[in-house]
Structure 1
Amino acid sequence: MGRRLIIEADGGSRGNPGPAGSGSVIIDGGSGEILAVVGRYIGVASNNVAEYTGLVEGVRRALVIDPDAELLVRMDSKLVVEQMSGRWKIKHPAMAELAAQARDLLMGTPVRFEWVPRLQNSRADAAANKAMDLRTDFDD
């Protein structure tokens, strides 16, 4: 079994829609070490679009760190977790486009999606809020 990376992803908007941002935290599954924190300022978008952006950007960054890693995506968005797991349909066009981007990035990569309570996703939430506060992208 190869390396496992954990992606904690989140997104939010101040208003729905409103100024939006996403946050992703990449963690080494063995050591628990934080390998990267990514924030994206989206502009005006819905909360759900911001959540999907957090997913896409987290996957993108994790695969740069280790393209052969097994991924565990942890999110507090039940909607995104259920849609990406194939249990719920995606009706919104912008969300469908972001989900397709995520699927393309994940092609051939072992991945599991897990819903977590909001309090267990505070690092990704903080990154999303930082992106909204700064109104810019960052990659720490």
Structure 2
Amino acid sequence: MKKIIIYTDGGSRGNPGKAGIGVVFCNEKDDPEGAPIKKYGEYLGDNLTNNEAEYSAVIFALKKFKALFGKKLAENSEVEIRSDSEFLVKQINAQYKILDEKIQPLFLEVWNLKLDFKSIKFKHIAREKNKEADRLVNEALDGQSRHLTLY
């Protein structure tokens, strides 16, 4: 079974404030700062919290996976979402309760999107291991890149 690793990050300047996301798709052995399959940085808009941006990055990643690779690959691949947001990962893995009313619909959207994937895991990683996704967030927030696609 093919393994795809997706690094996600979301950020907000002001919290709430201007927000953006960064998403990096890699094959199992790829380095996210090396030659990923695809990477994206998107500006989300104003008045979003950091947690809303983190969830938006995962939602973007799951939707983009299906758009790029199709539902068949989603059903036949092992997908691992890596995020430096412990809050996000623990909520998605049912270790933390979701008390924020703004987060509840985002959580439900992630939950519904992940049903299309046969094997999907959410893993917390150190911030140092998520530098490329973080860089894409900052580029989007700085207005340098609304959409960056490689390959």
Say yes or no: TM over 0.5: yes
Larger radius of gyration: 2
> What's the CA shift for 1:136?
6.5
Deviations 1:89-133 (A, max 9, x none): 112122211111111111041111111110100011011111111
Report sequence identity in percent. 29
> What's the CA shift for 1:139?
4.4
Which residue does 2:136 correspond to in 1? 127
Q: How does 1:10-25 map to 2 (within 5 A)?
A: 10-25=9-24
Deviations 1:43-95 (A, max 9, x none): 12101111111111112222333332221011000000000001111121222
CA distance in 2, matches of 1:127, 1:14: 14
Alpha-carbon contact 1:4-1:30 (below 8 Å) kept: no
Structure 2 unmatched runs, 5+: none
**Which letter maps to 1:26?**
F
**Which letter maps to 1:79?**
F
Describe the SS at the equivalent of 1:40: strand
Describe the SS at the equivalent of 2:98: coil
- Normalising by structure 1, we get a TM-score of 0.90
CA distance in 1, matches of 2:79, 2:148: 19
RMSD value over aligned CA atoms? Answer: 1.7
Provide closer, same or farther for how the CA distance between residues 108 and 120 of structure 1 changes in structure 2, counting only shifts above 3 A.
same
CA distance in 2, matches of 1:48, 1:9: 12
- Normalising by structure 2, we get a TM-score of 0.84
Which residue does 2:39 correspond to in 1? 37
CA distance in 2, matches of 1:139, 1:19: 19
Is it true that 1:73 corresponds to 2:73 in the alignment? no
- Structure 1 segments, 4+ long, off by >6 Å, are none
Q: How does 1:90-101 map to 2 (within 5 A)?
A: 90-101=98-109
Structure 1 unmatched runs, 5+: none
Which residue does 2:92 correspond to in 1? 84
Q: How does 1:92-111 map to 2 (within 5 A)?
A: 92-109=100-117, 110-111=119-120
CA distance in 2, matches of 1:130, 1:29: 25
